[in-house]
Amino acid sequence: MGRPIAGSLGPVQGLSLAPARPLSPVRRRAPGASVNVVDVGRRFEGATGPVDAIAHVHLSVAPGEFCVIVGPSGCGKTTLLRIVAGLEAATSGRVDVSGDAGRPRNAMVFQGRSVFPWLTVRQNVGYGLKLRGVPRRERERRADALLATVGLARFARSYPHQLSEGMRQRVAIARALAVDPDLLLMDEPFGALDEQTRLLLQEELLRIWENTGTTVLFVTHSIDEAMVLADRIVVMGAQPGTVKAVLPVPFSRPRALTDVRSDAAFAPLFAQIWGMLREEVLASRADIRQVRA
């Protein structure tokens, strides 16, 4: 079931999908964190007065769950993730993240550019470990193991500018995984990638997640991507950003991308999510028209 579908795609940019390869070196001892978002709001001071990026957001994510957020552009997905990550304070409500070791540890894969240009690929992946005081040899061992899982073993000594966009994104993912987070926050990690690389990385991520049991909160624009990856899909609406619906995804685990897409439940679920998003996008368009008039 969970076997990679290398045959139909072929290797892309050095990412080999040989099924016999050992899986992720990250093996968890305990289930991931649980996330509880209670009535959270975030207000920004905009040019034309205060703007509520998100308001009254409720969301709970179970330990080890793969939760995907979809929503129109500007509905506050990044804002919500940053608040959960503790990078930004909510203006109302509260967020609880419980990990296994008292102090919850999350790692975020950011939207857009985030791999340090001044560090080699190996140093980038080991960065979080370095901040935690992990000795250098151990850091490099872990970094190299993770680079092998994301198919970048040959590029350990390269600098990011020598890699393609897709390869850099894999570095960012490996860097987040390196600290063995209880909670993995991913903000459109595959947004800037070509279709083939995207498919391969989705598969890679599922495999890693299935092996680590970490909780994942994943943001995407792509309905298809959400359905392939998620246990549950959170559909957000805009102005202000709120949770419109939470939909369970019925496909069994472990998943193969092709099986999911040919499942009878795929098309109806797609239509249901698109229906909700369509309303949202049209509503925000109408808003823009009103502003212009």
Ligand X SMILES: Nc1ncnc2c1ncn2[C@@H]1O[C@H](COP(=O)(O)OP(=O)(O)OP(=O)(O)O)[C@@H](O)[C@H]1O
Q: Is the backbone peptide bond immediately before 240 cis, with ω within 30 degrees of 0?
A: yes
| Measured distance CA(164)–CA(22) in Å, rounded | 25
Pairing of strands 242-248, 232-237: antiparallel
Beta bridge partners of 78: none
For other proteins, the closer of residues 4 and 126 by Cβ is 126
Nearer to ligand X (CB atom), residue 73 or residue 252? 73
Stretch in the footprint of ligand X (CB under 6 A) among 57-65, 71-79, 159-167, 247-255: 71-79
- Least distance in Å: CB of 183 to other proteins? 11
Pick from 185, 169, 177, 242: nearest CA to 66: 185
Identity of the residue, 147 or 199, whose beta carbon is nearer to other proteins in the bound complex:
147
**Out of other proteins, ligand X, Mg ion, none, which partner does residue 159 contact, by CB within 5 to 8 A per kind?**
other proteins
Segment 75 to 114, residues that bind other proteins, using CB under 8 A:
82, 85, 87, 106-108, 110, 112-114
Six-digit token string for 66 = 């793969």
Binding pattern for the stretch 202-241 against other proteins, x by CB under 8 A and - elsewhere:
----------------------------------------
Per CB under 5 A, 78 contacts Mg ion: yes
Residue number with CB closer to Mg ion (111 or 222): 111
Q: How are strands ordered across the β-sheet holding 215-220? A: 106-109, 183-187, 215-220, 66-70, 232-237, 242-248
Contact region for other proteins (CB under 8 A) — 94-102, 119-127, 231-239, 280-288? 119-127
Work out how close the CB of 133 gets to other proteins at its nearest, in angstroms, rounded to a whole number: 10
How far is residue 171's CA from residue 74's CA, in Å, rounded to a whole number?
26
**What token pair was written down for 263?**
């499942």
Q: Which DSSP category does 108 fall into?
A: E
CB 56 within 8 A of CB 265: no
The residues of the shown chain that bind ligand X, judged by CB under 6 A, are 44, 46, 51, 53, 71, 73-79, 111
